[in-house]
Amino acid sequence: MPRFNLFRKIILFIFLMLIPILGLYWYSNQTTTHVLSDELSQSNTNQLVFFQNQVNNQIDLLASWPNLLLHDPDISSFRDLYLDERYLKLDEINLIKKIQTKLSIQESSSNWRSNLSIYSPSLNRVVTDNDAGFYSHKELKEKIAPGWQVIPGNEGDSWDYQFVWYSVSPYTANTSGQFHTVIKVEFDSRNIQDMLDRIKSDGRGDPFYYKPDTGIIYNRSADQEIIRHMITQLEQDPMTAPSESRVKEVNGKTYAVSMAVSETTGWVLIDYLPLSDIMEPIVISNRLFYITVGALLLMSCLAAYLLYSRVQVPIKQLIHVFRRLQAGDYTVRMNETGHNEFSFLATRFNHMVEQIQELFERVYLEKIHVREAKLKQLQSQINPHFFYNCFSFITSMAKLKKFEAVIAMSHNLSRYFRYTTRQERELVPLSHEIEFVTHYLQIQQMRMKRLEYRIRVDEDADKLQIPPLVIQPLVENAVLHGIEPRSGHGEIAITFRIERTMAYIQVDDNGIGMNAAEREMLEQQLTRPMDENMGCGVWNVYQRMRLRFGEEAGVYYDASPEGGVRAVLYWPLSGCTAESGRKQEVGKDEYLTG
């Protein structure tokens, strides 16, 4: 789990502080929006109901005119007239004119444009406010029906629908068909359009009238496409109350729809308001609030970053350099930036570390010089130890007059001298050591014809560099103490391998071998100071490897599958450097035998 530094804690605190604020604001905003939407829908519905009542009152007023006119004395007289001739007499004409005047006055008493017509079956005439003519009794009888009748307008008419109301006298004539007087009241939809235009001018709505299976009465500036889509959705969900309010989505926009049914005509007054336009001030307020919160959050993050960069970063840098200093890196320095308390602290810290580094460098250089002197002393002990054996062999061969062996030994010995006298480096390529060990084994083969050897190098091990003269003492011990005391065929196997982070050189022989106790005692001698009773070759290698690679390096002994002893030299790869730029004499996974 990552650790929370100061910067993360400040940012987390800011977010935790803003979360309840945003939550409360969101809840308040949602509550306000719902309440406003409900109140707006209710207000619009109430307005429609009020407007619908005005229309109903006006229509009811028009429907009441025939009842008033039927009781007028002049109209009663007109009902009882019977013509003896085709043409009207003067008294009859004056009566008709009086009736026309009354009809005109009655029509003028209303704000709506309407027409009154009186039918007299006895005279077979119809009287309006400006005309008196004949009519067809059969056609009139077919048109008479109870209630308001809606007649669609013809093409070219200035109105869409005509509303007609018939009143007959006597009332029983509706069923018998024998009526004395018929009064017709009619008006067209332009009157309703005027009222729709008036209510639209007072708000943002788009009111219209709709009656299923009859049609639509638009206001004069209506968006007919939206209204048609609106009606399509409303038909799928019929009304269940005299007035309702709903929310509908048309063409991707949300509308608040209010409806009120006319009990007089059965027409539904519908109005819709775009919620996006109504809620726009709230949306703008929300946007400003969120922008403000975002700006505050940004400024808070900026302040937190300044605090982080001015305080937390120097502290982290100080912790980092202290850890490197603890790991022994005295070259580490703090960056001196700015002119504050941390820059002063960095300056004083750098001065302190510089003094410590100088002190440690002096002590470390002295330690290195002592170590190099000891390594060179140990390495120099290898040379005479081997030289003594070689010169002893040359002497023996000369006494036996085996001059070819003397010559071969001299050649191999000269190569050995060249290798040792020019060897000033602390690490040498593995191929050089292989070549050197090969010369040694060739010398030993001159002494013992029964001796054979194999050298195997892995691909990765072949690229290592190792300290000089660390393999030959192991091989020499295998030859002198393992192969030489044993009669019969002798075999030496040298293997180089890498396992994970460790490198291994193992030397196997099929000599006389040692038991586990002897091997353990031999390993213990390597860790003790050298005395006169122990050989210096392997002890020298052990001490040099320890000085070079530390306690992870060393030598141990084990039983060899060949039947003798296996001596294993091991060290960590972290102390080695890879050889590059040349090919080894022994290739990948190949054997060098002799």
CATH number at residue 181: 3.30.450
| Angle at CA of residue 499, ends 497 and 503, nearest 5° | 55
Q: Are residue 203 and residue 174 in the same domain, yes or no?
A: no
User: Does 550 score more than 50 pLDDT?
Assistant: yes
What average pLDDT does this structure show over 478-486? 88
Which residues are registered as beta bridge partners of 184? 117, 166
> And the tokens for 570?
């091991």
584 confidence band (pLDDT: 50, 70, 90): very low
CATH number at residue 241: 3.30.450.20
394 near 418, Cβ under 8 Å?
no
Q: Are residue 391 and residue 493 in the same domain, yes or no?
A: yes
pLDDT tens for residues 492-508? 999 988 888 899 999 99
- In order, the DSSP letters of 315-357 are HHHHHHHHHHHHTT-TT------SSSHHHHHHHHHHHHHHHHH
Q: Which residue has the higher pLDDT, 562 or 81?
A: 562
- In order, the DSSP letters of 412-431 are HHHHHHHHHHT---S-EEHH
Nearest to 424 by CA among 368, 474, 467, 369: 467
pLDDT tens for residues 43-53? 888 888 888 88
Q: Are residue 175 and residue 213 in the same domain, yes or no?
A: no
201 vs 223, 260, 382, CA distance in Å? 15, 19, 116
Residues listed for the chain: 594
What average pLDDT does this structure show over 47-71? 86
Q: Are residue 178 and residue 234 in the same domain, yes or no?
A: no
In the predicted model, what is the mean pLDDT of the chain? 80
580 confidence band (pLDDT: 50, 70, 90): very low
Give the dihedral of Cα atoms 479, 484, 489, 493; nearest 10 deg: -10
CATH number at residue 516: 3.30.565.10
Q: Are residue 113 and residue 29 in the same domain, yes or no?
A: yes
In which domain, by residue range, is 140 found?
Answer: 24-188
- For residue 242, tell me if it sits in a domain: yes
Last residue of a domain, one of 280, 310, 332: 280
pLDDT tens for residues 336-382? 776 777 778 878 888 888 888 788 777 766 666 666 655 555 555 55
| The pLDDT of residue 588 | 39
475 CB contacts (<8 Å, ≥6 apart)?
A: 437, 440, 441, 492, 494, 507
Positive or negative, the CA dihedral 167, 144, 184, 131 is negative
DSSP element (H, E) containing 287 = helix 280-307
- For residue 339, tell me if it sits in a domain: no
| The pLDDT of residue 156 | 61
13 vs 19, 197, 301, 537, CA distance in Å? 10, 57, 11, 70
The reported pTM is 0.48
Which residues are registered as beta bridge partners of 508? 493, 566
Q: Which residue has the higher pLDDT, 150 or 29?
A: 150
566 confidence band (pLDDT: 50, 70, 90): very high
Distance CA 149, CA 128 (A): 19
| Most trustworthy range by pLDDT among 5-19, 129-143, 546-560 | 546-560
- For residue 314, tell me if it sits in a domain: no
Distance CA 537, CA 387 (A): 12
Distance CA 36, CA 49 (A): 20
> And the tokens for 214?
């009859």
pLDDT tens for residues 281-313? 777 888 888 888 888 888 888 887 887 777 777
User: Does 175 score more than 70 pLDDT?
Assistant: no
575 confidence band (pLDDT: 50, 70, 90): low
pLDDT tens for residues 86-104? 566 677 778 888 888 888 8
Q: Are residue 158 and residue 199 in the same domain, yes or no?
A: no
User: For 212, phi and psi rounded to 5 degrees?
Assistant: -55, 145
Last residue of a domain, one of 173, 188, 203: 188
User: For 167, phi and psi rounded to 5 degrees?
Assistant: -120, 135
Question: Other C-beta atoms within 10 Å of 537: how many?
Answer: 20
pLDDT tens for residues 192-204? 888 888 888 877 7
87 near 136, Cβ under 8 Å?
no
Q: Which amino acid is at 429?
A: P
User: Does 570 score more than 90 pLDDT?
Assistant: yes
| The pLDDT of residue 6 | 65
Of 164-173, 474-483, 519-528, the least confident: 164-173
Number of domains into which the chain is organized: 3
DSSP element (H, E) containing 127 = strand 125-127
User: Does 582 score more than 60 pLDDT?
Assistant: no
| Angle at CA of residue 33, ends 27 and 35, nearest 5° | 100
Distance CA 502, CA 552 (A): 9
> And the tokens for 513?
């071998």
What average pLDDT does this structure show over 247-267? 85
| The pLDDT of residue 314 | 79
| The pLDDT of residue 45 | 82
pLDDT tens for residues 408-439? 778 877 776 676 666 567 788 888 888 888 88
Q: Which residues of 390-413 are buried (b: 16+ CB within 10 A; e: fewer)?
A: beebbeebeeeeeeebbebbeebb
Q: Are residue 200 and residue 253 in the same domain, yes or no?
A: yes
- In order, the DSSP letters of 451-506 are EEEEEEE-TTGGG-EE-TTSSHHHHHHIIIIIITTS-S-EEEEEEEEEETTEEEEE
User: Does 121 score more than 90 pLDDT?
Assistant: no
| The pLDDT of residue 1 | 38
3-class DSSP state for residue 361?
helix
Q: Which amino acid is at 298?
A: L
What average pLDDT does this structure show over 38-67? 84
| Angle at CA of residue 231, ends 228 and 237, nearest 5° | 155
Which residues are registered as beta bridge partners of 84? none
| Most trustworthy range by pLDDT among 212-216, 241-245, 510-514, 573-577 | 510-514
Nearest to 565 by CA among 470, 485, 459: 485
- For residue 14, tell me if it sits in a domain: no
Which stretches does DSSP call E strand in 194-337?
A: 208-211, 215-218, 243-250, 253-261, 268-274
63 near 185, Cβ under 8 Å?
yes
DSSP element (H, E) containing 452 = strand 451-457
Last residue of a domain, one of 280, 311, 329: 280
Q: What is the 3-state secondary structure (H, E, C) of 54-90?
A: HHHHHHHHHHHHHHHHHCCHHHHHHHCCCCCCCCCCH
Q: Are residue 407 and residue 528 in the same domain, yes or no?
A: yes
Given its phi and psi angles, is residue 492 left (phi above 0), alpha (psi -120 to 50 degrees) or beta? beta
- For residue 56, tell me if it sits in a domain: yes
48 near 243, Cβ under 8 Å?
yes
Q: Distance between terminal CA atoms of the chain?
A: 60
Which residues are registered as beta bridge partners of 567? 507, 557
Q: Are residue 425 and residue 515 in the same domain, yes or no?
A: yes
Q: Are residue 164 and residue 213 in the same domain, yes or no?
A: no
What average pLDDT does this structure show over 380-404? 71
- For residue 434, tell me if it sits in a domain: yes
3-class DSSP state for residue 443?
helix
User: Does 585 score more than 50 pLDDT?
Assistant: no
Q: Are residue 174 and residue 265 in the same domain, yes or no?
A: no
What average pLDDT does this structure show over 537-543? 83
- For residue 272, tell me if it sits in a domain: yes
| Most trustworthy range by pLDDT among 18-32, 341-355, 491-505, 576-590 | 491-505
Residue 256 burial (10 A CB sphere; 0-12, 13-18, 19+): buried
- For residue 134, tell me if it sits in a domain: yes
Q: Are residue 123 and residue 85 in the same domain, yes or no?
A: yes
* pLDDT above 90 coverage of the chain, percent: 8
